[in-house]
Structure 1
Amino acid sequence: MMNFNRLGRQAAVTCGLLMIPSVVSAVQIRVTVENLAPANSVSLAPLRFGFSNGTFDSFDNNAPAFLLGQPDISQAPIVTIAEGGSGSTWFPAFQAAEPNANLGSVFDAAFPPITPGEINSAVFEVDPTNQFFTFGTMVVPSNDHFLGNASPTRYQVFDGSGNLILPTIVESASLIWDAGSETQDPANAAFLPGGVNDNRVNENNPVTFNFSNLQAFNGLVTAAGYTFDSSLLAADTPVLRVSFEVVPEPSSLLLGGLALVGLAAARTRRTA
């Protein structure tokens, strides 16, 4: 059976920040995750993310995914995402760098990997002064492939006044990263029946863009029951869409309803 320990069904983490009336108030944001990949191609582990001030640097292109001298490479923040889809060390590292960041996860509660064509969403309380969005999600089947932004300021979701300015992020296959932390081996890969995801062999390469290595899993049956085919992915094939939407608070809806009632009453009085 597939080992889901590192793909784990980790509950969403939110860190709402109380705001005083003189500054922008917290808002409710619906984060929607869509797997745009063709059927029988890649699935996505739970999306781990944070709204932040742009300080936390999750990883860098052509640099090691782990800190030099770190005793356990597999526990480096981006490696826990890349090798198992877990935020177990990524979230604490994010929180340590930015205590006021708003952190969370989006996943399928019944079957955590988000399969091709699937859409999942959740609502989170966000301080819109945390203008930037940083995320990571493992691409499966693989040993250590993932999607995520190397620059913590790449995606600015809010402007300085707290207005939503980035409704959608779309990532293609060419933006799939190889963490360079674990050697390619289907026997140790996630999302394959019989694969033991907790087994790994250090690779010690830098993080680079590389989706072509996924061909190592061609013809293998995934935990979702479909046979994987990497030939369905071209560099420009969309694989992930993340969307943001401000959700009106119930009080706002109530005030709007009362305003409409008042307007209707006023019109009634004028025609009486």
Structure 2
Amino acid sequence: MLAKHITVIGALVAASSTVQAQDISITIENLQHDGGFFFTPFWVGVHDGSFDTYSGGEPSSNFPGLEALAEEGDTGPFSTSFASITGGVGRDTTILEMGGDGHPTLAPGESASAVLDVSDPLTNRYFSYASMIIPSNDLFVANGNPFAHELFDAGGNFNGPVEILIFGRDVVDNGTEVNDAFGGAAFSANGGAGVDENGLLRDFFTDLGPDSQYLASFIGSDTATGDTITAAFSPDKAIARITVVPAPGAIGILAGGILIGARRRRR
């Protein structure tokens, strides 16, 4: 079949600095096969280590914007929180996949890329990401350790290429909505109404309990885009890959904007 490879070039205008700004190219790949789960647009950011996407065992409300991302795939509030916590110094963007179906989700076999202006590699040394798993009620992937992915050393030198493999065991339950494939799961055709959970952030595959068949319960159901889920992922399954490399140059940079281009590849 034809799988879409979408390039999204987002950039921010760097502030004046004695340190030369550096652009990085970020590529997200959904490694699942046809019939697997999707990702919402990936939020990505570079910062000084002060931004924590989440911490297990705490309520999601401790991390402004996370609930909207985990339940609806909305990165806007999360980006606002990032700007506030990093004092406007950090740089972030949302990587969209806008293919022929008109939907921004990242389907199995698809990839999306963005070029981001780091501004100051002496300060914005660390990389973070977050994206919702769909269909689901409130499952997401993100790095819980803000220092986990050091793109630049203390001298501002790039440590890459940097490759981040995301496994099923890395999926996080936001703890804000009961896991029920027929109870308001986002981007699912199953329908139903979501039920507040009032729980804590936790690794999804740890102590599954009543959730042991949650992912499998989506098999045979359709997504909002009309695709049918035919397979669930396991803890040891690699479900996504993020690759970060220096960008060869700013291509189609728009001040404060996003440029979207597309091509198709056969696989």
Q: TM (normalized to structure 2)?
A: 0.78
1:66 aligns with one of 43, 61, 73:
61
Q: Distance in 1 between matches of 2:76 and 2:95?
A: 15
How far 1:12 moved relative to its partner?
8.1
1:46 maps to 2:41: yes
Change (3 A) 1:164 1:209: same
How far 1:39 moved relative to its partner?
2.0
Identity of aligned residues (%): 28
Change (3 A) 1:180 1:117: same
- In structure 2, runs of 5+ residues without a counterpart are 1-7, 206-211, 252-267
Q: Distance in 1 between matches of 2:114 and 2:9?
A: 9
1:239 maps to 2:248: no
Q: Distance in 2 between matches of 1:95 and 1:15?
A: 13
Change (3 A) 1:61 1:230: farther
Q: Distance in 1 between matches of 2:117 and 2:79?
A: 17
- Corresponding letter in the other structure for 1:161: G
Give the corresponding residue for 1:220: 221
Give the corresponding residue for 1:268: none
2:90 aligns with one of 101, 118, 123:
101
- Corresponding letter in the other structure for 2:45: G
Runs of 4+ that moved beyond 6 A:
none
SS in structure 2 at match of 1:137: strand
1:138 maps to 2:132: yes
Structure 1 vs Structure 2 CA RMSD: 2.3
Larger Rg: 1
Alpha carbons 2:189, 2:221 under 8 Å: kept: no
Say how many residue pairs are matched.
229
Q: Distance in 2 between matches of 1:84 and 1:138?
A: 8
Give the corresponding residue for 2:75: 87
Q: Distance in 2 between matches of 1:164 and 1:176?
A: 28
Alpha carbons 2:183, 2:194 under 8 Å: kept: no
> What are the equivalent positions in structure 2 for 1:73-222 lying under 5 Å apart?
76-98=64-86, 99-109=88-98, 110-127=102-119, 128-129=121-122, 130-166=124-160, 167-185=162-180, 186-193=182-189, 195=191, 200-211=194-205, 212=212, 213-222=214-223
- In structure 1, runs of 5+ residues without a counterpart are 1-10, 68-74, 252-272
How far 1:230 moved relative to its partner?
4.3
Q: Distance in 1 between matches of 2:167 and 2:241?
A: 9
More helix per residue = 1
Q: Distance in 2 between matches of 1:146 and 1:38?
A: 19
Change (3 A) 1:59 1:13: farther
Alpha carbons 1:184, 1:216 under 8 Å: kept: no
More strand per residue = 2
Alpha carbons 1:13, 1:103 under 8 Å: kept: no
1:55 aligns with one of 50, 53, 68:
50
Q: TM (normalized to structure 1)?
A: 0.77
